[in-house]
Amino acid sequence: MSALFSPIKLRGLTLKNRVVVSPMCQYSAEDGVPTDWHFTHINNLSLSGASMFCIEATHVEAIGRITPGCLGLYSDAAEAALKQILASVRKHSTTAVAMQLAHAGRKASSARPWDGGQLIPVSEGGWQTVAPSALPHKEGEAAPLALDAAGLTRIREAFVEAAKRAERIGIDAIELHGAHGYLLHQFLSPISNRRTDEYGGSLQNRMRFPLEVYDAVRAVFPHDKPIGMRVSSTDWVEGGWDLAQTIEFASALKARGIDWIDASSGGVSPLQKIPLGPGYQVHFADAIRRETGLPTIAVGMISDAKHAEEIVASGKADMVALGRGMLYDPRWGWHAAAELGGEVEAPPQYWRSQPSTQKALFGKTTFGAR
């Protein structure tokens, strides 16, 4: 039996396999509101064979968006549009739908990647960014404003309100974005956090605001629905955030009831040096799982079905999440199941696509027609 296509239970949510579609920014929203592109993108990948699809980084306030085209959940218009998309998904897919709640901090007000991805000055339509400390992400950029007590409260409450909206539209799970150099990661890393108050300095202080955000979201999201967090396991910069600190942070989250850790890396500094290659981050998920006992998701250049199977079967991670691989092959889950002897769910309109040489990929052996 395939380990990758075995079930896993996260609180009241049972997933039929261990394949997740990673949250992938589409940079195609209008003032945070999803567009027809999101309708197509989400409905398409909800039929990938993955047991859970995670909606892209969904920002909790307008100035927290990475780009002007990034998705948000801070308005009634965005809530209504996402609710309509979710209703369409539910008609044809049993895939669980999660949402990654995020705030970009000092990496906000950036151009879309295909427009260069650099900071947009306020004079050119950008906005003033905020961060733990008034340190720019990149030398020569305008500095963010250091958050004061009122700013911290505003952002914490913005996460809470977004979580309430997520519940109203029927989201099955939440992932908090604590990685890739965005706001929660900025608090964790000594590279971006130079505060001298209770939110800076020691590891315990740097963890304080991300833990407060988790606690606040957990308090308003239904108890039977899981919440996880994506973390950058290392900054890949000497003197920055590292795996040992990540494990301490994960242990603090475990004590608060976190349901998984999504183990990514990097993003807080342009000085990072990342040794890219298939599965280059899997050892982070493995270490966090071994040291804390938490379920982990392995991510990063995983595209081969046998590789994904080995990761789960060997206990290096409990799930694998694919991003670019899913964009390239939107039926990756089907093809992996066929290769590994697993089963996936698919709408009956597609059952006849199963090759005659494949045994019960959809749990069906015949397709009748007159």
Catalytic positions: 182
Q: What is the C-alpha to C-alpha distance for residues 50 and 23, in angstroms, rounded to an integer? A: 13
- Per DSSP, the residues of 97-110 read EEEEEE--GGG-SB
Structure token pair of residue 104: 């970009």
Give the DSSP H or E segment for 164: helix 149-169
254 three-class SS: helix
3-state secondary structure of 212: helix
The dihedral sign for the CA sequence 224, 210, 64, 296 = negative
Distance of CA 332 to the CA centre of its chain: 19
Tokens representing 365 are: 């052996």
SS3 161: helix
H-helix or E-strand spanning residue 145: strand 145-146
- HSE value, Cβ hemisphere, 13 Å, CA-based, for 323: 16
**Single-letter amino acid code for the residue at 157:** E
